[in-house]
Structure formats: structure tokens, C-alpha cells
Amino acid sequence: MKKVFRSAFTALCALGVASAPLAAHAKQMHELRFGVDATYPPFESLSPSGAFQGFDIDLGKAICAELATKCVFVSQSFDGIIPALEARKFDAILSSMTVTPERAKQIAFSTEMYNEPTALIVRKGSGLKPTAESLKGKTVGVEAGTIQESYAKTYWEPMGVKVVSYPGQDQVYADLLSGRLDASLQDSVEADYGFLKTSRGADFQFGGDVTYDPKDVLGSYIAIGVRKDDPELLKKIDWAIAELHKKGIYKKIEAKYFTFDVYGAPPANSMN
């Protein structure tokens, strides 16, 4: 028993040190940790083997390559991603986050990564449109913490639309498929590539882009978020993004995922 106890104690101490290293290292960036909500294909998702993959992930890796640092991706649900950044669980947010005035009060944003409008997905033939009148009495799913959640809660919920928030975008789709939701609101490219173009999205279609936004809930473009007390990192990331464009790496990665210019003009949904 004595031995067991002693070895157990040593194991505990060893594990305590191993799992929570009070890492003392010289002041130099040796890794860049990105916070990611990996439920948002084709931008960020997990492969069956559990590896991070997607457009954002490839861009992140390219940025790390430019900065000659190690890249680490940390899983984090979207609704807690800004506090987690503030709590220094990672150094930057790389998760299709749109710049909004509200968020810019909390954190700093890099230059543009790409741009996409917000769109509604509905069941084929339902004829629902992204307006409060059309959706009255219906149930709309959104991911918690997104601009789409703010949008639906600002403009639609007071008008009698039932808005349900989920911890991850994949759960929104799961309930859209199962029929609990009548529609879901998210970024249009994500909706197109991550859902409609997959086998699961066969019965669904775009209900249209959201255009009405007098209170500017939807913000502007998508960027990397960094803590305000870390301007050095922001400078480095901005420089790396510029380099990616200059060297043509951005175009190369873009071509791997999209057939249109995801940086400039957002794709029109008129084709649907």
C-alpha cells in the first residue's frame, strides 16, 4: 500500500506538471495559437480523424509559415470565443468572425480575410424569405454568439419569429434536417459549401440574402481577432496577410475551395 500511495502521488505531481506546464520561456513568439469553432465547413471543421481542416485553417497555416512560427489550433465554441481570447486561451480568433462595432469595442481586428453576406436556408418549396413578415410564427435556428443570432434577435424575435440558438452550426443543421427548424440563418458561402452542396442539403435551398440592416448588426468583412493589448501580433498578422496576397498564396488556397473571388465581391445568390 505504501508503495502504491507513493507512486500515485508522484504520478499526480508529474501529471500536474505535464498537463499544466508553468512554461517559462524567453520572450519570443514560438507558436501562434488560433481559437477555432470547428463547426463551420468549408472554413473550419474537423475531419473524421479529428484534424482541423478548411479555408481558414489553410490561411492560418500560411500565416504561421510567413511568420516562421508553429501553428496551434484550439477548439472553442463560438459564443465563448471572445472571452476565451481575453482569457488568453489562444492568441487570435480565426473562425469566420465578422467585424462589427460591438465586437470592435472588445477586441482588435486584422485586415480583411474574406467577405460573405448573411443568408437564410429554407426547405425547398416552403417559399420562406428572410423577412420578419415571411417568418412570423416559424422557428429559425442560429449559432449562439454569431452576428446572425444578434440579427434574428434584433429584427425578428420582437415580430413573433421563434429564434433558437445552438452552441454549434452543425447542431443548427442537424435540427434543420430533422425538421425542428423551419429555416436557418448563417453566412452564405458556409451555407452553400458546407450544407447545400453536400448530400445532406439536397432538400434545401437559399431563401435569400439578408439586406435590411439599419442598426448595422451584421458588420462588414471577416477578419482575425486579436487582443487589444497585443498590437505587435496584429501588426505581424496584417503583414503576413499582405504577403499572402503579394505572393499569390491567397489565390492558390482560394482556388482550392472556391470558384469565385471570396475576398472581393461576395457571390450573388441569384443563381439559386
- Residue ranges in contact with other proteins by CB under 8 A: 1-2, 8, 11-12, 15, 19-27, 46, 48-50, 74-77, 79-80, 82-84, 86-89, 106, 144-145, 157, 162, 164-167, 170-171, 173-174, 177-180, 200
Q: How far is the CB of 205 from other proteins (least distance, A)?
A: 18
85 or 240: CB nearest other proteins? 85
Q: How far is the CB of 209 from other proteins (least distance, A)?
A: 26
114 or 173: CB nearest other proteins? 173
The separation between CA 49 and the C-alpha centre of its own chain, rounded to angstroms, equals: 20
84 or 104: CB nearest other proteins? 84
3 or 246: CB nearest other proteins? 3
18 or 255: CB nearest other proteins? 18
Q: How far is the CB of 174 from other proteins (least distance, A)?
A: 5
* SS3 sequence of 44-90: EEECCCCCEECHHHHHHHHHHHHHCCEEEEEECCHHHHHHHHHCCCC
Q: How far is the CB of 242 from other proteins (least distance, A)?
A: 28
| Residue partners of 95: CB distance under 8 A and separation at least 6 | 34, 35, 36, 37, 40, 43, 44, 56, 76, 78, 81
Strand ranges (E), 125-203? 139-143, 162-166, 183-187
C-alpha cell at 242: 499582405
Cα three-residue angle 8-9-15, rounded to 5 degrees: 90
175 or 238: CB nearest other proteins? 175
Q: ω before 266 within 30° of 0 (cis)?
A: no
The separation between CA 25 and the C-alpha centre of its own chain, rounded to angstroms, equals: 31
Write down the residue that cell numbers 496576397 correspond to.
Answer: 245
Q: How far is the CB of 247 from other proteins (least distance, A)?
A: 32
- Amino acid identity, position 12: L
φ/ψ (deg, to 5) at 25: -140, 160
86 or 261: CB nearest other proteins? 86
Q: How far is the CB of 46 from other proteins (least distance, A)?
A: 6
15 or 268: CB nearest other proteins? 15
Distance CA 125, CA 112 (A): 36
Q: Pairing mode, if any, of strands 70-75 and 31-36?
A: parallel
Q: How far is the CB of 32 from other proteins (least distance, A)?
A: 14
Q: How far is the CB of 11 from other proteins (least distance, A)?
A: 8
